[in-house]
Each structure stands twice: as structure tokens, then as C-alpha cells.
Amino acid sequence: MRGLRAHYHLLPSQDEEQPMGCGDPAGEGQLGSGGAPAAAPALEEPCMLVLSTPSSVLRDREIQELGPHLPPRLMQQPWRLLYCTGRDGFSLRTLYRRGGQQGCPTLLLIRDTEAQAFGAFLATTIRCSNGFYGTGETFLFSFSPELKVFRWTGRNNFFVKGDVDLLMVGGGSGRYGLWLDRDLHHGGSHPCETFDNETLSPREEFCIQDLEVWGLA
């Protein structure tokens, strides 16, 4: 477990279901770079991540590298830890219950048992659903060991889908960019059409050591 300083700066995003107070709509997002490592966008002010409590998944350096890749809205609002396996146990159902205010963006952070850190930025709350939902602002990322960001290709709209057995991010041709099982002990990552991503973990199927879900405070 790695402790971080209590505060970092981050720029949040949103989804089409965003409630009052979660920011201004920005449409379905922008076409990405086809999965190539993304450079930080040029901004007038640095995008810095603000976490309300320390993270057990990302180091200080990783937090600072990831921050500039998030959409530049809702500046200076701290992100709150909604769910973590160290505190809440390993359960997808519990993750859904603690998912936060509907429509607000979510940051999913994972560290596997091989110490690889990766995850997803989701433009909306993680929830159980009948089909895929979300917007083109959704992306996958991995520190392998340097940060790589995999953005929406525009080939499909398979952003996020959750049911009682699986949470899936990205898809196409029966392959998911990231999936997690119902017990949150195991998951997998495959190249998928939504993000044209590389495998996020050293193995296509991995065991989870720590998992965190962050939402806007």
C-alpha cells in the first residue's frame, strides 16, 4: 500500500446524465489518437489532481502525470474516494451501491498483483445497466511503466456496461478493453475497437491487489 499526500489537483468530466452542479455539457467527446500514447493537452493553467484522501494505487508521480489528460472542467473540485477494496471489501455489488451521484464522472484505479497500475476515466457513474452507456470522453490508461492513454476511436459506442457478473469498459468483436468479475478478484484486458488499446496489464487476465473508485465531491 502506498500513501500519498492528501491533496492533488485534477480536472473532472461528465456524462449526458449529469445532474445539476456537475458542470456544463460538452457533447459526446472528441475522437482520440487511436490508442497511441497521448501527450498532455496544452492548457493555460496546469491540470492538477485533487484527491480528498491518499490513494493506495497511484504514486505521486503517476497522479501528476494522469491529471492533465482529464477533461478541463470543474476545476479545483476535489475527488472523493467512493469505494476501495481495502476499506469496503471485494464486491462488484458494493461498488455499484457506493458509486456516487448519478451522472458525475468517475476515476477507476487498479493495481494488480504484479504491481502494474492502470484503469479508466469514465464520463459518468459506474452502475448496473442493461446496455452500454457513457460518452466519448471515456478513456483507458496504463502505467507500463510510463503513462499511456487510449482514447475513443469513434468505431463504436461501447464505453461502459455493468451487470451483476461483470463490469466492462470498451468492446467490440467479443473483446473488452477492461473487464472485472463480480468478486473483483480477477479481471482482464484485451485490445478493443472502442479504444484501440494495448493490454493494460502484463497479462491478459490478472488478479487485483487494490481497486479504487473516485468521484467528484
pLDDT per position as a tens digit, 101-147: 778 899 999 999 999 999 999 989 999 999 999 999 999 999 988 99
Confidence of residue 14 (pLDDT cuts 50, 70, 90): very low
pLDDT band at 35 (very low <50, low <70, confident <90, very high): low
C-alpha cell at 20: 445539476
Burial class (CB in 10 A: 0-12, 13-18, 19+), 12: buried
pLDDT digits (tens, 9 = 90+) for 134-182: 999 999 999 988 999 999 999 999 999 999 999 999 999 899 999 999 9
* Phi, psi values for residue 204, rounded to 5°: -65, -30
Give 181's strand partners: 166
